[in-house]
């Protein structure tokens, strides 16, 4: 029962902190006056075989140099976590952007261009015969090409035309003469169908003579585009004068 052996017992009873708790230490030993051997209890303990002796009693006794009973006691605590600890975390970035609608048909510095055939040839020689006199000598045609046409969204290509018409108001026998030159327009370009993501195929469609307008819808497309204007020879003789007509193409987003 020497003090030296009791102190050796204390060294063996190492203090540990429970990982689960916020770290309260309240433990010790006392050589029980009745039992005659050290009784160990831990916080907030119920002491086996030592009724009425609480950890608080043992802590107080361990500071009492005049006590009849030897005891040691360790008391302390660590602070709890401030805030919750986490084992994982996540952050999400949402990226956004937009692309503006853009439809194009390149016509240079102006969207209006004048194409002048100059003289529309007619048979002006009386030796041409009555069926041919004043008739158009041959069909006229012009091909209009642009290497930039298309739209970066679903769109409609619309072609509208007005027949060439003479400005001669002097009157004429409509059973023999005509003052109009109708024509057809054939548009050719590469575009796909609406809502199709497949590779586009070449499109070619015609707005016939006598038809004022027609249109086709496509998914986004971009390609060179040609407009082939074909003025067929009318059956009737051509009234003299200056003839003027229009062709317009409009590519617009749906």
Partner 1 sequence: MARVGGLVALVVAAAVASTASAEPMLDSGLASSLDVIVKGKITASCRLSGGGDIDFGELTGGQQVEANFGLSCNVPFDISFQSQSGGLAHVTKPRGEGPFAGRLGYTLNVAIPTINPQAATLAGSFASENLIAKKTLSSGEGIAQGGGRIQIRTDRPEGVGLLAGEYSEVLNITLAPRV
List residues near partner 1 by CB under 8 A.
1-4, 7-8, 10-11, 14-17, 19, 23, 74, 78, 81, 85-102, 150, 152-154, 191-192, 195-197, 200, 218-223, 253
Q: What is the DSSP letter of 128?
A: G
Least spacing, CB of residue 143 vs partner 1, in Å: 24
Give the nearer residue to partner 1 in terms of CB position, either 94 or 111.
94
H or E element that contains 9:
helix 3-12
* 246 CB-near residues (< 8 Å, 6+ apart): 160, 161, 162
To the nearest whole angstrom, how small is the minimum distance from the Cβ of residue 65 to partner 1?
A: 14
- Looking at the Cβ atoms of 88 and 112, the one nearer to partner 1 is 88
Residue number with CB closer to partner 1 (93 or 127) = 93
DSSP per-residue letters across 146-196: EEEEEESSSEEEEEEEEEEEE---S---TTTEE-EE--EEEEEEEE--TT-
Please report how close the Cβ of residue 93 comes to partner 1 at its closest, in angstroms.
4
Least distance (Å) from partner 1 to the CB of residue 204? 17
Nearer to partner 1, 95 or 124 (CB): 95
CB 202 within 8 A of CB 235: no
> Closer CB to partner 1, residue 90 or residue 131?
90
Least separation in angstroms between residue 247's CB and partner 1 is 25
Judged by beta carbon, residue 14 or residue 34, the one nearer partner 1 is 14
Tell me the C-alpha to C-alpha distance, in Å, between residue 123 and each of 149, 182, 190, 207, 241: 39, 19, 40, 28, 15
For tokens 């045609």, name the residue: 141
Smallest separation (angstroms) from partner 1 to the CB of 162: 31
| Minimal distance, residue 205 CB to partner 1, in Å | 17
Residue 133 is given by DSSP the state: B
Pick the closer one to partner 1 by CB: 152 or 184: 152
Rounded distance, CA 154 to CA 219, Å? Answer: 4
Residue 211 tokens read as: 């038809």
CA distances from 70 to 26, 162, 239, 252 (A): 17, 120, 137, 100
């Amino acid at each position: 029962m020497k003090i030296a052996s009791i102190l050796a017992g204390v060294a063996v009873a190492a203090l540990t902190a429970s990982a689960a708790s916020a770290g309260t230490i309240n433990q010790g030993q006392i050589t029980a006056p009745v039992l005659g051997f050290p009784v160990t209890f831990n916080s907030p303990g119920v002491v086996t075989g030592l009724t009425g002796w609480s950890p608080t009693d043992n802590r107080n006794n361990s500071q009492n140099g005049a006590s009849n009973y030897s005891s040691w006691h360790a008391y302390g605590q660590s602070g709890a976590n401030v805030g919750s600890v986490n084992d994982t975390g996540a952050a999400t970035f949402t990226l956004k952007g937009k692309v503006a609608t853009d439809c194009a048909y390149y016509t240079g510095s102006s969207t209006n261009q004048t194409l002048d055939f100059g003289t529309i040839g007619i048979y002006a020689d009386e030796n041409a015969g009555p069926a041919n006199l004043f008739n158009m000598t041959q069909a006229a045609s012009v091909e209009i090409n642009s290497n930039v046409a298309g739209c970066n969204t679903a769109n409609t290509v619309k072609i509208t035309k007005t027949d060439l018409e003479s400005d001669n108001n002097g009157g004429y026998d409509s059973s023999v003469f005509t003052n109009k030159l109708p024509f057809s327009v054939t548009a050719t370009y590469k575009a796909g169908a609406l809502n199709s993501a497949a590779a586009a195929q070449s499109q070619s469609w015609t707005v016939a003579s006598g038809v004022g307008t027609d249109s086709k819808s496509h998914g986004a497309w971009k390609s060179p585009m040609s407009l082939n204007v074909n003025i067929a020879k009318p059956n009737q003789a051509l009234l003299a004068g200056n003839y003027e007509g229009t062709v317009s193409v409009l590519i617009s987003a749906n």
